[in-house]
Amino acid sequence: MPADSTQRPSLILADRWQDYQLLDCGDGMKQERWGEVVLVRPDPQIIWPKRSGPEWKAWDGFYHRSEKGGGRWENRKPLPDSWQIQYQSLGLTFRIHPTSFKHTGLFPEQAVNWEWSSALIKAARAKGREINVLNLFGYTGAATCAAAKAGASVTHIDAAEGMVKWCKENAALSGLKDAPIRFITDDCLKFVRRELKRGKKYDAIIMDPPTYGRGATGEMWKLEEHLWPLLTECRELLTEKPLFFLINAYTARLSPTVVVNLLTELMSGRGGTITGGEVGLPIKADGKVLPCGIYGRWES
């Protein structure tokens, strides 16, 4: 039996932020407010021209790309090594730290998926159900914190020890120091296979697979080769009545339709609803939308 419903790809906006705002975009750059700090960073999808005006000169940190790869931050004033912002809607707090690769440790557009997964978990918990969530390629753990805050037990997996440590910090900041979260540094595919041998089951799975990557002991990850095998292994980890399956992607090599097709094939016989599309951020200056990635969702 196929999914009960598969919807056409759609765009969903992370528009409930208070501590974050995408101020303006143009000429390959985006200007963002992270709490009280304004950062300017490159984004390859911004190929439209920059609006003229004095607003672009009002920044605290500016990321300059290097022709040799990577880049560096230029600060107009001394900035703290890190600071905190909140996502008030779900009661979450995150540590922001500009890295040498332009990232800050948080993808604010993913708030739409935090809201979605939190609502499903809370509804299941209200019916007396215990929910176990597996978060693969978990990065700094925003999705992990959202699921735990909603009442789930969460297993957080990332191959980078520093990211797992950052997730622990975000959990503590969000009042989840004693929440049932397992923090594990490991290769995702190897971990999933070990969980299958242990007979472990999960009610929900979240994953944000990279295009390329290395596991904790040097294992190579290539999206086109390894995503489907990982998905099929994950399917065997699901309980008899799973709650949801969420795939996020930031690679231009996938389209929302591809992710929907993967989930349709993966969850054949489970019924449920499949949706997919883009996640985006509203641009304050002119009302445009910056597309920031794609998603595919299955829910029972």
Q: What is the pLDDT of residues 80-110, one digit of tens each?
A: 999 999 999 999 999 999 999 999 999 999 9
State in words which class domain 6-14+106-299 has. alpha beta
Going by C-alpha positions, the residue among 298, 295, 291 that lies closest to residue 13 is 291
Q: What is the mean pLDDT of residues 58-62?
A: 96
Q: What percent of the chain shows pLDDT beyond 70? A: 96
CB-facing half-sphere around the CA of 97: CA atoms within 13 A: 13
Amino acid at site 150: A
pLDDT at 32 over 80: yes
Distance CA 269, CA 240 (A): 12
At residue 239, the pLDDT reads 98
pLDDT at 211 over 90: no
- Report how far Cα 217 is from the mean position of its chain's Cα atoms: 23
pLDDT at 3 over 80: no
Q: Beta strands 71-75 and 83-87: pairing type? A: unpaired
Average pLDDT of the chain, as a whole number: 94
Could you tell me the pLDDT band of residue 8, with boundaries at 50, 70 and 90? low
Give the residue with greater pLDDT, 100 vs 218. 100
Q: What is the mean pLDDT of residues 160-187?
A: 97
pLDDT at 1 over 50: no
| Distances in whole angstroms, Cα of residue 228 to Cα of each of 86, 89, 218, 232, 247 | 35, 34, 20, 6, 12
Query: Token pair for residue 285?
Result: 């200056």
User: pTM value?
Assistant: 0.94
Q: What is the mean pLDDT of residues 10-23?
A: 97
Q: What is the mean pLDDT of residues 206-225?
A: 80
The full set of domain ranges for the chain reads 6-14+106-299
3-state secondary structure of 169: helix
